A and B are shown apart, each in its own frame.
Chain A
Amino acid sequence: MASTTSSQRLETAAAQAPAIELRGINKHFGAVHANKDIDLVVKRGTVHGIVGENGAGKSTLMSILYGFYSADSGEILVDGQRHDITDSRHALALGIGMVHQHFMLVENFSVLENVVLGAEDSPLLGKTLSKAREQMKALARDYGLEVNPDALIEDLSVGQQQRVEILKALYRGAEILILDEPTGVLTPAEADHLFRILKTLRDEGKTIILITHKLREIMAITDEVSVMRQGAMVATMTTSETSPAELAEAMVGRRVLLQVEKGSAKPAEVRLEVKNLVVADDFGIPRVKSVSFSVRAGEIVGIAGVSGNGQSELLEAITGMRNIREGAIFLNGKPLALTGDDAAADARAAGIAHVPEDRHRMGLVTGFQEWENAILGYQDKYGSGPALDIGGAKAAAREHIGKFDIRPPDTELKTANFSGGNQQKIVLAREMERDPDVLVIGQPTRGVDIGAIEFIHNEIIRMRDAGKAVLLVSVELDEVRSLSDRIIVMFDGHIVGEADPATADEGELGLLMAGVTHDGKAATVGTTPDVKTVTERRLMEMNPQQISDKDAEP
């Protein structure tokens, strides 16, 4: 190595240049200025987080980098070289790969076919496929990206599908990997696995851009973090030198109280009581195993637990969406008979309002206009006989919009065109404005931006103070702790402990959620419940949406 050739010198220069540099990127969609003069530098071999509320322009910016959109103005430099990225193919050729929030996979293709799709090197498939198979083995070995190459995508868990997306990018030679909200669809265990993979990738020299609105993830895995707000880049910081509070403030432009302010609860009579409840899932496997508890008027009871430990089934049973196998549910002391197809409507009529865990699947018809969703489930109250009182329904929708600050204030806009936070507000407004006795809320702020989270939390407290009984389930432990007056911890279908949020510490709750009992005896070790069969494990790795999809098939 006496002398360096010019090409080697060039390579060294490229190695010092940032992997990605964006200068003055602007993008308009009609009247909306989605990206305003964005400057961004992403260093090679780092995990770079981009945070911002929903609609801050993160995804648009990354779509421009990936060539899915083209910028109105501005420059993109990859490895110090200026490029006009015209389409996704161009971005891929430059070594930029993207893992989209909604996977871009062909569901009835094998993993292998998905990996090679669009990157086949000859008109005949045979050679390409055997080469890809070898390469997948190498990638699995190097990065822990194990997926069976011959499995069909539709048979894989969400976490595995995401691994296929990463494999796709790496197979195309991606050096820079963009991940858009990668943990939104993952269970906590799968998210952990993903982060391990990302760390390995970074250690191998890959550059990773992580788009998220979860501050915890930013703190856990990124080296640097950029904050976007309303289309503008407001700050870039070194993660180790910042704090969640500082990031949150930068995101929303004002200091946000992550701790909810609330007065003390004044619990009155018992509204909802559950006795020895046993509930099975779609496959007949018991998921709630003899659970008993009660919720009083004027208190919020939070159910904490790692997702997949029976909370979803419990909520669905109480709200009439799932038959109970044993036990009973009492409302105001009277037993509720919730069976048959009308059970959910019966529960509503009896005074149980329900904000479901998954607003897209259970809470809203996203193809409907806003006003239609605002009365969904209560439509019989509008008009008499077969006629619908559309004027009355729209008036109610307008009232909801005013009270809950739903934006844009347009009753005729398609619901799918509202942001996640505003969609959630539509559901909350619908359920809260019915003056129910009991309010059951699943994942109140999943996929909701910080500004809306604060609003939703305050509304829930307001319901409590108005004397309603509130049952809350959330996978966000912080949320359960800050909202609840009492915390119930579920593990493997059992209630394993009860805690007072004022005194319980995070470590103690964490142990309970992991199945370690009060007297210190470990029921099981690890963050996931014990499973006995392969089917059970598969079920546990799947998210609720997937289970329901499977259910739809004969």
Chain B
Amino acid sequence: MQYYTDLILILDSTVRLAVPLLLACLAGLYSERAGIVDIGLEGKLLGSAFGAATVAAVTGSAWLGLLAGIGVALCFSAVHGLASINLKGNQTISGVALNFLAAGLTTFLGQAWFQRGGMTPQLGNDQRFTPITLPFANELADVPIIGGLYSELISGHNILTYFAFIAVPLTAFVLFSTRFGLRLRAVGENPKALDTAGMSVTRLRYQALIITAILVGIGGTYLSVAQSSGFNNNMSAGRGYIALAALIFAKWRPWPALLVCLLFGFLDALQFRLQGIDFPVIGQVPVQAIQVLPYLLTIILLAGFIGRAVAPKAAGIPYTKER
């Protein structure tokens, strides 16, 4: 029973740790499927986390914070779109520029506004997205097996978490069962096919970037206003990049993206859990060795288990109408 409770707790933190990855990964999925490599996910995540925390702290409303988070991501996407769609610049370089901009600007503005070394003020519970207790969670908590599963794992998360998980089937549906999804996939594979069929490549790519911004904005907000209570310097900590790796791992498909993000989340949760534990035979293992586990496993999985990942063919290539 102890092991079962442990497992439930690890799975619970798996979910928590997977959410920002999942949102960023789905965000990247929309833009890469539309042919825009978004290395700037990291910067968008960081920027929107800062924007959300700032507005939540100033206004006292988590929801206004969310709007601000999405707003920041939209601004970043607009710059990215202008550079890589209209001006046909290099998508990776403009994305990396956004990352630098986000890292510098958040610290600078944070320090200028709040004088806390780049951190935003601590958010109270009423200024955050707090866990929602689903109906009967408390009543069922003591029922063996199912009780723990329901009350710990399924209930007790904030609304952004539930949204992230709903976004997966939603994305799968949009991508494979709607007109918009068909065109989105086509524009990432062969934009000329769309152009000759009389559709605007520019408009479709901007639409994709807007969806990307909304998702990554929610992801950033989750980091600072739901998972933590305030913004920290560089609090995205490379999640934008890991999300891109997860996207490759998932071969640009939504359901595998969910599994991969959960896997990354699980490895992360396991790593926390294993710290300080005495192993049989080898005894205490240094923290660093355990912390490296998720990354090690990531390398092994990426190298050996995914086979060939074929990116959308037009990804990274600005579309120019000429022959």
Contacts and interface: CB of A to CB of B under 8 A. Distances in A.
B177 A117 contact: no
B253 interface: no
B80 interface: no
Interface string B175-203: 01111111101100110111111110000
Main secondary structure on chain A at its contact with chain B?
A: loop
B197 A88 contact: yes
A120 B193 contact: no
A235 to B, nearest CB: 26
Contact of B198 (A113, A114, A118, A128): A118
B89 to A, nearest CB: 19
Contact of B197 (A59, A107, A109, A117): A117
A117 B182 contact: yes
A193 interface: no
A105 B189 CA distance: 9
Contacts of B323: 59, 63
Interface in A96-126: 98, 100, 104-109, 113-114, 116-120, 122-126
Contacts of B197: 88-89, 92, 104, 117-119, 168
Contact of A128 (B179, B185, B189, B313): B179
Nearest to A121: B179
Contacts of A98: 196
Interface residues of A, number: 35
A90 interface: yes
Interface in B162-179: 176-179
Nearest to A114: B193
Contacts of B321: 68
A117 B186 contact: yes
Contacts of A108: 189, 310, 313
B273 interface: no
A554 interface: yes
B196 A106 contact: no
Contacts of A128: 179
B190 A104 contact: yes
Contacts of A476: none
B175 to A, nearest CB: 10
Contacts of A120: 179, 182
A117 B196 contact: no
B308 interface: yes
A469 B243 CA distance: 60
Interface in B17-36: none
Contact of B196 (A90, A100, A553, A554): A100
Contacts of A124: 177-179
A123 B183 CA distance: 11
Given A89-B199, A118-B183, A105 B177 contact: no
A530 interface: no
A177 B177 CA distance: 30
B314 to A, nearest CB: 10
Interface of A: 59, 63, 66-68, 87-92, 98, 100, 104-109, 113-114, 116-120, 122-126, 128, 168, 553-554
16 contacts: A87-B198, A89-B198, A92-B198, A100-B196, A107-B189, A108-B310, A109-B185, A116-B182, A117-B183, A118-B194, A118-B197, A118-B199, A123-B179, A123-B180, A124-B179, A125-B176
Given A92-B197, A123-B178, A125-B177, 4 more contacts: A107-B313, A108-B310, A119-B197, A125-B181
